[in-house]
Amino acid sequence: MSKRAAPSPPYWVIYSDKWVSGETGPPSVSQISGYNVFIISFLLIEGAWDQAQTWASLTADERATYKSQYVAAGIKLLVSAFGSTDAPTSTGADPVAVANSMAAWVIDYDLDGIDIDYEDFNAVNAGDGKAETWLATFTRQLRTSLPQGQYIITHARKQVLFSPGKFGGGAYLTVDSDVGDLIDWYNVQFYNQGTTEYTTCAGLLTASSSTWPNSALFQIAASGVPENKLVIGKPANSGDASSGYMDPSALAVCIGQAKSQGWSGGAMVWEFPDAASSWISTVRSDSWPV
């Protein structure tokens, strides 16, 4: 296994897209102590933007210095692809060509892997299977250049895309069935789906509402997705998402309850600097204390 290989669960993941005054690169490891994965956003089909562009603008020596510090702290550094800007299936992007381009960027800029934040919801909602086929082809091609055990591939996914029977093509249940063995874990976004959705331990872990059926953590696992590949994602504060925010202390209770039932997936947060070491320290306090 290479030094870029995925850590063992639990995964403690934080994203960075927001511009931070005075920062010329990723945060110091002391600012994100308690996390083991830091994801810069976004790598688009046309190239790097936001924090991904900041990383690319550093010199090779500067990147090497950051990487050595992150390696010493046990923190993997990934880039997130697509986001809400790209709709690769709807726009007819070639999944093989895009995968080759993005894999080359990961290698060229010395990252540990890539996180796929596919938000082409028009393609998913069409229900014709084209979105699922595109994602499967793209993921397989990524793995040809970013081999398992040497690089990390994760997918960031809205939890509702795991709802069985909700989407004609099967959405992420189909993707997991087709290429789940190539994906290290899922950063599941338990937010932006309604003001009361996923804001209690019961709603988050065991029984989602009828609006998005069978999309709570253990319900997704019951549909066949390995539960320890399901990372619970939340916004850092109420301003970082339209809904779904939970106080870190309340979320800590839920994480502890999930651990007591055998789960060890971990937690994800959107985004730095609204969340940093103090956020994850609180969230882990009832389960895997820092």
Domain extent, residue 17, equals 11-283
How many domains are there within the chain? 1
Q: Is residue 99 part of a domain?
A: yes
Is 5 inside a domain boundary?
Answer: no
Taking only the tens place, the pLDDT of each residue in 24-83 is 899 999 999 999 999 999 999 999 999 999 999 999 999 999 999 999 999 999 999 999
- The fraction of the chain above a pLDDT of 70, given in percent, is 100
CA 229: distance to chain centroid? 11
Whether 48 maps to a domain, the answer reads yes
pLDDT at 197 over 80: yes
pLDDT in tens, 121-152: 999 999 999 999 999 999 999 999 999 999 99
Q: The CATH number of the domain where 155 resides is what?
A: 3.20.20.80
Confirm whether 6 is domain-assigned.
Answer: no
Domain membership of residue 154 (yes or no) is yes
Look up residue 2 and give its amino acid. Answer: S
Would residue 125 count as lying in a domain? Answer: yes
pLDDT band at 3 (very low <50, low <70, confident <90, very high): confident
Query: What confidence tens digit (pLDDT) does each residue in 33-42 have?
Result: 999 999 999 9
Using CB atoms within 10 A of its CB, is residue 218 exposed (0-12), middle (13-18) or buried (19+)? middle
Q: Does 201 reside within a domain?
A: yes
Flag whether 2 is in a domain. Answer: no
pTM over the 0.95 mark: yes
The Cα–Cα gap between 217 and 166 comes to 17
**pLDDT at position 88, please?**
98
- Mean pLDDT, the chain, rounded, equals 96
Nearest Cα neighbor of 110 from 42, 166, 170, 64 is: 64
